[in-house]
Amino acid sequence: MATRTEDGVARGGSLARVLVYGLLLLAAAYFLLPLYVMLTTSFKTLGQISGGNLFALPAPFSLTGWQQAWSSACTGSDCTGLQHYFWNSVAFTVPAVLLSTAFGALNGYVLTKWRFKGSEIIFGLLLVGTFVPFQMFLLPMARVLGMIGLDNSVAGLTLVHSVYGVAFTTLFCRNYYVAIPDELVKAARIDGASFISTFRYVILPISTPILMVCVIWQFTQIWNDFLFGVVFTSGDAHPITVALNNLVNTSSTGIKRYNVDMAGAIITALPTLVVYIVAGRYFMRGLTAGAVKG
Higher pLDDT, 113 or 77: 113
Average pLDDT over residues 81-105: 94
pLDDT of residue 73: 59
pLDDT in tens, 21-41: 999 999 999 999 999 999 999
The reported pLDDT for the residue numbered 129 is 76
Q: What pLDDT is recorded for position 5?
A: 59
- Taking the C-alpha atoms of residue 36 and residue 262, their distance in angstroms, rounded to an integer, is 11
Q: Among 8-22, 48-62, 150-164, 184-198, which stretch is predicted with the lowest mean pLDDT?
A: 8-22
Euclidean distance between CA atoms 27 and 141, whole angstroms: 43
Q: What is the mean pLDDT of residues 40-61?
A: 85
Which pLDDT value is given to residue 115? 75
Backbone φ, ψ for residue 79 (5° rounding): -130, 145
Q: How far apart are CA 264 and CA 83, in angstroms?
A: 10
Say if residue 60's pLDDT is above 60: yes
Confidence of residue 294 (pLDDT cuts 50, 70, 90): very low
Give the pLDDT band (50/70/90) at residue 7: low
pLDDT confidence tier of residue 284, bands split at 50, 70 and 90: low
Q: Which residue has the higher pLDDT, 157 or 10?
A: 157
Least-confidence region, from 4-18, 28-42, 102-116: 4-18
Q: What is the mean pLDDT of the chain?
A: 84
Q: What pLDDT, on the 0 to 100 scale, is given for residue 235?
A: 84
Walk me through the domains of the chain, giving residue ranges and CATH numbers: 2-69 (no CATH), 74-288 (1.10.3720.10)
Distance CA 140, CA 146 (A): 10
How many angstroms separate the CA atoms of 134 and 228, rounded? 8
DSSP 57: P
Query: Higher-confidence residue: 267 or 3?
Result: 267
Confidence of residue 292 (pLDDT cuts 50, 70, 90): very low
- pLDDT score, position 291: 47
Residues 6+ apart with CB under 8 A from 115: none
Alpha-carbon distance of 155 to 219, in angstroms, equals: 16
- How far is residue 132's CA from residue 147's CA, in Å, rounded to a whole number? 23
Tell me the percentage of the chain whose pLDDT exceeds 90.
35
Sorting pLDDT into bands at 50, 70 and 90, what band is 224? very high
256 confidence band (pLDDT: 50, 70, 90): confident
pLDDT in tens, 129-179: 778 887 888 888 999 999 999 988 999 999 999 999 998 999 889 888 988
